Each structure stands twice: as structure tokens, then as C-alpha cells.
Structure 1
Amino acid sequence: MSTYDVVELGGLDTWRSADDRPGKQFVDKLIPTQFVGVSANTTAPGEQSPFWHSHDRLEEVYIFLDGLGQMGLDDDVVDVKAGTVVRVGQGVMRILRALPDSPEDLRWLCVRAGGDTLENVGHDGQLDRERPAPWAK
């Protein structure tokens, strides 16, 4: 039995047509991870995440690869671009958007991990579909 797995996500320009949701592909559904989850994401200029979310047990690291955008982190807004890395701890509400004038789609990897296996952590997300994005004020 091997202790590694390989999956091809395709080039950054193909991420928008991912199978999970438009613009999001859960890598950990394609390969058998135990302690870490990864998603490959893309958002077109002017688009944003559909909702805020936080995690009770997981922390996330966002690694931005392309485009220009912003992250709402509780009451703060942080500018992001290729090369920006943002760690978000437990309990922090977050939302993302690609700036309307971004020259290309905002693309990033989201790596999530906790102090237990992902299976034991289960679904621990908290959604807030009513809270407006911080740039919509």
C-alpha cells in the first residue's frame, strides 16, 4: 500500500469549472486525506463568497495565487493578491471577494486542519447568510 496519492486539478484557468461547486473543488474528496483538507478556488472579478463562515475546531490557511481581492475577517477587511497568505483561527467569521477591477480571477488554495482527523471533526462550520459583506455598506 502506498503512502502518497496524486491528483491532477488542471491549470488555474480550469478551476472555474470544478465539479463540487462552480469555482470550488475539494481536493480532499479526490484523494484520501486524514488530517488536512484542501480546496482549490476561483472567483471572477466582482464576485464574492455566497456567505460568511467560521469554524469551531479547524483553522484555515488561504494561499492566494492570482488576482486581486479582499477578505472580510470579523470586522476587518484585508487586501489579498498573489503571494498573500492568511491564517484564520477558530471562531473568526470570514468572507472573500474578487475586486471588480481585478485583471484576472482571484485564485487561491484553502488548507484546513484541526487537532483531530477530519472525519472526527465532521461538519463544524457556522454559516451566516444574513450578514452583509463588509464592502456592501
Structure 2
Amino acid sequence: MTTKENNYTSLEVGTFESLLSRNYKGIEGKFFIGNELGLSGCEVSLNRLPAGKAVPFVHAHKKNEELYIITGGNGTFFVDGVEFNVQEGSLVRVAPAGARAYKAGDKDLYFICIQAQAGSLTQATHEDGIILNTKASWMNGKK
């Protein structure tokens, strides 16, 4: 279910376990959400790679760096000829020119991949955030 309002879009996609029903160009378990949410500054994909499976190609990007956030399982990443293990809690940033691939280990590999144009961030959250006088329902002192 998708809800679109003036300043937000909310999308329910189900559990990461259900991602195997998604398919992107023959890659099972990959779901790009940029178009679904109307993202304008980055692309995001939700991913589930079954145990023992691997992406069948090495790739790089022209402009986008990628941040991989491993949310479950384990696996191996390949970047510029170096292979290293990842598991839940691992974070991997790859520059656009980085030659990358990955495979799941003995457990399904779950991760979020965020792509944005390298060098496009002009200020971080602590410089951009503004605290407002508006209150959410849980901020009114009730428990």
C-alpha cells in the first residue's frame, strides 16, 4: 500500500523474507524503491540474496557511490580484487569506480543499498536539520 501526501510518501513492501518474489533484470530478491517513493536525491534497493547465491557480474558506476547496509545473514564482498566477509551490522561504501560484486554465505544475505552521486552531499544532517515547535502525539507528556 502506498500513501502519498504533500511532504511524504509511505510504502508498505512487506518483510525482507518476501523479497524473493521481486525480480530486477533477472536478479531475484532485488527491489528498487526510488520510483515507488518518488526519491529525488538517491536510489535505494531492498535486497535478499539466497544462501550460496551470487551476483553473476562485477560492476562499477559512472557517477554513483553505493552504501550497503547489511541487515541480516552473511556473505562475501568483492571490491577491486579484494574479498572480505560481511554480516549483519556491516556497512560497505563503494566509490563509483570500485569494481564490486557480492555473494551470500551459508545464510540468506539481506541488505539495503543506497546510491547517490558521489560528492553531491552539501551538508550533513546536523547542519541541515531544524528543530520545530510542532509536537507529535507522543510528545505531550502522556505515557
The normalised TM-score by structure 1 is: 0.77
Provide the C-alpha distance between the structure 2 equivalents of 1:8 and 1:22, rounded to a whole number of angstroms: 19
Query: After superposition, what is the alpha-carbon deviation per residue over 1:95-123, rounded to whole angstroms, capped at 9, x for unaligned?
Result: 01001x22xx101000000156xxxxxxx
Residue 111, structure 1, aligned to residue 123, structure 2: no
- Which amino acid counterpart does residue 16 of structure 2 have in structure 1? L
Offset of residue 62 of structure 1? 0.1
TM-score (norm 2): 0.74
Partner residue of 2:63? Answer: 57
Using the alignment, how far apart are the partners of 2:56 and 2:7 within structure 1?
36
Task: Give the gaps of 5 or more residues in structure 2.
Answer: 121-143
Percent identical pairs in the alignment equals 31
* Alpha-carbon spacing, 1:19–1:45, altered in 2? closer, same or farther (3 Å): closer
- Listed as ranges, the matches of 1:91-110 within 5 Å are 91-99=97-105, 101-102=106-107, 105-110=108-113
Say which SS state the counterpart of residue 11 (structure 2) adopts.
coil
Instruction: Specify the alignment match of 1:6 in structure 2.
Output: 10
Once the 2 structures are TM-superposed, how far is the Cα of residue 29 of structure 1 from its aligned partner? Answer: 2.4
Matches within 5 A, 1:34-113: 34-99=40-105, 101-102=106-107, 105-113=108-116
Cα distance, 1:36 vs structure 2: 0.6
Aligned pairs (5 A) from 1:9-28: 9-20=13-24, 21-28=27-34
4+ residue runs over 3 A deviation: none
How far does the alpha carbon of each residue in 1:33-75 deviate from its partner, in whole angstroms, 9 at most, with x for none? 1111000011111100121110121100000011110100011
Gaps of 5+ in 1: 117-137
CA RMSD between the two structures: 1.4
Q: Which amino acid aligns with 1:3?
A: N
